[in-house]
Amino acid sequence: MSEHGGNVTEVARQFGLSAHELIDFSANINPLGAPERVKALITDNLACIEKYPDVEYRHLHQAIAKAHQCDCTSVMAGNGATELIYAVVRYLQPKRALLPVPGFAEYRRALQQIGAEIVDYPLTEEAGFQPDLRLLDALSHIQPDCVFMATPNNPTGLMPDRQFMQSLVAYCEKHGIALIVDEAFIDFLPDNRGLIPQCAVTKHLYLLRSLTKFFAIPGLRLGYLVSGDITGIAEMKKQREPWSINALAARVGEVLLDDHAYITATHQWLKTQQPDLWEHLSALPELTVWPPSANFLFFRCHHPDVNLWHALLKHRILIRHCQNYVGLDKRYYRVAVRSEWENQRLIAAMRQVFAYG
Ligand SMILES: Cc1ncc(COP(=O)(O)O)c(C=O)c1O
């Protein structure tokens, strides 16, 4: 079974259901669906699958660089942010890495593949699941070659403090530690530009972005890496397998970041649905729900007899249990924010599970 959410087909098969009967709250994908211009672009450009894509992805890199007002030499596109997690780890070859837990599973797999020593850094519930300046002490003791940080973090949905991130960037710059910041969900935060502008002042920062969640194209696959380490970016481009981004995804990436109408519509949807879902779930005494920053919510169920994952599946709702995250257990869950009617179905089903409905 996959370590990730979004595996609707597998769950449906196991439980004798059909995949389209299930509402998928387990993958954090924008429910507005892929932008219309993406769908049109794909149908209008089907002929491009008959040719190899540009192995250098010049137009795609130019579009990303333009969107972030940086140089193409600082940018590398990938087949989802996932490809770039592996690319950056393969390039850096860290002997020792610090991994805040809980966190996204692919950092660990990428580090394991190159035989790096992994030191887990627990983000505990007592500390609000948030990193703070104690992490810098840990860095000075452990002396890793690299550290991962997701902003916002998955599965907690929490955004580390801005001041803390500045201190972390400065510490890593001073001590030559590679800081890999995963901004896969940052586009959902309307006012947060993330750390890309910092790439102008440090070579130790590697920023990962994903286009699959915000633009609802997880099946097309597209993400990018931005860093001031232009030697590193050039080396990673040289090391990578050729043509890993398909021609249609590359074409889509050239226009996506300019789709301001879709970006605004997404922020408008989230502005109402995120607090609404949070409010309703928080009102259930059985749950402790952490305040979300992006398009998903993380919570603990303190009802010892209820397996929410199974209970909600009976209501044809698939959520993400978090028991396979290092640092969490079966009491923790994550749900995506979806459309209004779907969120209402989730709330109603939860109330029924806890026998209020
Ligand atoms: C924090 C985080 N980073 C990266 C990814 C990978 O995204 P992509 O679909 O672009 O490979 C995910 C996917 O769930 C994620 O949760």
Residue ending a domain, choose from 258, 285, 300: 258
Residue 268's contacts (CB-CB under 8 Å, 6 or more residues apart) are: none
User: Does some domain include residue 2?
Assistant: no
Q: What is the mean pLDDT of residues 5-18?
A: 86
User: Does some domain include residue 1?
Assistant: no
Residue ending a domain, choose from 219, 240, 258: 258
Q: What is the mean pLDDT of residues 76-101?
A: 98
248 and 266 in a common domain: no
pLDDT at residue number 232: 98
Q: Does residue 2 carry a pLDDT above 70?
A: no
277 and 246 in a common domain: no
Q: Quick one: CA dihedral 170, 171, 176, 180, positive or negative? A: negative
Instruction: Confirm or reject: Cβ of 26 under 6 Å from ligand 1.
Output: no
CATH number of the structural domain spanning residue 326: 3.90.1150.10
Q: What is the mean pLDDT of residues 43-66?
A: 97
What distance in Å separates the CA atoms of residue 52 and residue 73, rounded to the nearest whole number? Answer: 22
Counting atoms of ligand 1 from 1, which one is nearest the CA of 153? 1
Domain that includes residue 183, residue range:
36-258
148 and 222 in a common domain: yes
Residue 17: pLDDT band by 50, 70, 90 thresholds?
confident
Instruction: Confirm or reject: Cβ of 223 under 6 Å from ligand 1.
Output: yes
What distance in Å separates the CA atoms of residue 62 and residue 72, rounded to the nearest whole number? Answer: 6
Residues 271, 278 contacting (CB under 8 angstroms):
no
200 and 147 in a common domain: yes
Sort strands 320-321 and 332-336 into parallel, antiparallel or unpaired. antiparallel
Q: Does residue 104 carry a pLDDT above 80?
A: yes
User: Does some domain include residue 146?
Assistant: yes
Q: What is the mean pLDDT of residues 294-307?
A: 92
Counting atoms of ligand 1 from 1, which one is nearest the CA of 4? 14
244 and 275 in a common domain: no
Total number of domains in the chain:
2
Which residue out of 83, 154, 210 has the highest number of ligand 1 atoms within 8 Å of its CB and is therefore the one to mutate? Answer: 210
What distance in Å separates the CA atoms of residue 301 and residue 150, rounded to the nearest whole number? Answer: 24
Q: What is the pLDDT of residues 111-129, one digit of tens each?
A: 999 999 999 999 999 999 9
User: Does some domain include residue 97?
Assistant: yes
Residue 30's contacts (CB-CB under 8 Å, 6 or more residues apart) are: 213, 214, 215, 216, 266, 295
Residues 119, 96 contacting (CB under 8 angstroms):
yes
Distance (angstroms) between ligand 1 centre and the Cα of 80 equals 7
Which residue out of 3, 26, 64, 82 has the highest number of ligand 1 atoms within 8 Å of its CB and is therefore the one to mutate? Answer: 82
Instruction: Quote the radius of gyration of the chain (alpha carbons, Å).
Output: 20
Residue 1: pLDDT band by 50, 70, 90 thresholds?
very low
DSSP letter string over 228-258? S-HHHHHHHHHHSPTT-S-HHHHHHHHHHTT
CATH number of the structural domain spanning residue 89: 3.40.640.10
Q: What is the pLDDT of residues 209-245, one digit of tens each?
A: 999 999 999 999 999 999 999 999 999 999 999 999 9
294 and 281 in a common domain: yes
Q: What is the pLDDT of residues 272-288, one digit of tens each?
A: 999 999 999 999 999 99
Q: Quick one: CA dihedral 301, 306, 309, 313, positive or negative? A: negative
What distance in Å separates the CA atoms of residue 169 and residue 206, rounded to the nearest whole number? Answer: 11
Cα(first)–Cα(last) distance of the chain, in Å? Answer: 32
Residue 178's contacts (CB-CB under 8 Å, 6 or more residues apart) are: 88, 92, 94, 145, 146, 147, 172, 204, 206
What distance in Å separates the CA atoms of residue 145 and residue 95, rounded to the nearest whole number? Answer: 7
CA 198 to chain centre: 20
The string over 91-108, giving b where at least 16 C-beta atoms fall within 10 Å of a residue's C-beta and e elsewhere, is bbebeebbbbbbbbebbb
269 and 253 in a common domain: no
Which residue out of 28, 212, 244, 324 has the highest number of ligand 1 atoms within 8 Å of its CB and is therefore the one to mutate? Answer: 212
187 and 270 in a common domain: no
Q: What is the mean pLDDT of residues 182-204?
A: 95
Please list the residues that pair with 297 across neighbouring strands: 335
Half-sphere exposure of 354 (CA within 13 A, CB side): 17
What angle is formed at CA 268 by the lines to CA 266 and CA 272, rounded to 5 degrees? 115
Instruction: Confirm or reject: Cβ of 100 under 6 Å from ligand 1.
Output: no
164 and 234 in a common domain: yes
User: Does some domain include residue 293?
Assistant: yes
What distance in Å separates the CA atoms of residue 73 and residue 23, rounded to the nearest whole number? Answer: 41
Instruction: Confirm or reject: Cβ of 148 under 6 Å from ligand 1.
Output: no
User: Does some domain include residue 273?
Assistant: yes
What Cα–Cα distance (Å) separates residue 286 from each residue in 49, 57, 344, 353? 51, 50, 18, 11
Instruction: Confirm or reject: Cβ of 154 under 6 Å from ligand 1.
Output: yes
Instruction: Confirm or reject: Cβ of 229 under 6 Å from ligand 1.
Output: no
Q: Quick one: CA dihedral 266, 269, 274, 275, positive or negative? A: positive
Distance (angstroms) between ligand 1 centre and the Cα of 210 equals 6
Residue ending a domain, choose from 210, 234, 258: 258
User: Does some domain include residue 17?
Assistant: yes
Q: Does residue 39 carry a pLDDT above 50?
A: yes
DSSP-assigned letter for residue 327: T
pLDDT at residue number 65: 98
236 and 264 in a common domain: no
335 and 238 in a common domain: no
Residue 12: pLDDT band by 50, 70, 90 thresholds?
confident
241 and 100 in a common domain: yes
Distance (angstroms) between ligand 1 centre and the Cα of 213 equals 8
pLDDT at residue number 357: 58
User: Does some domain include residue 243?
Assistant: yes
What distance in Å separates the CA atoms of residue 63 and residue 81, rounded to the nearest whole number? Answer: 17
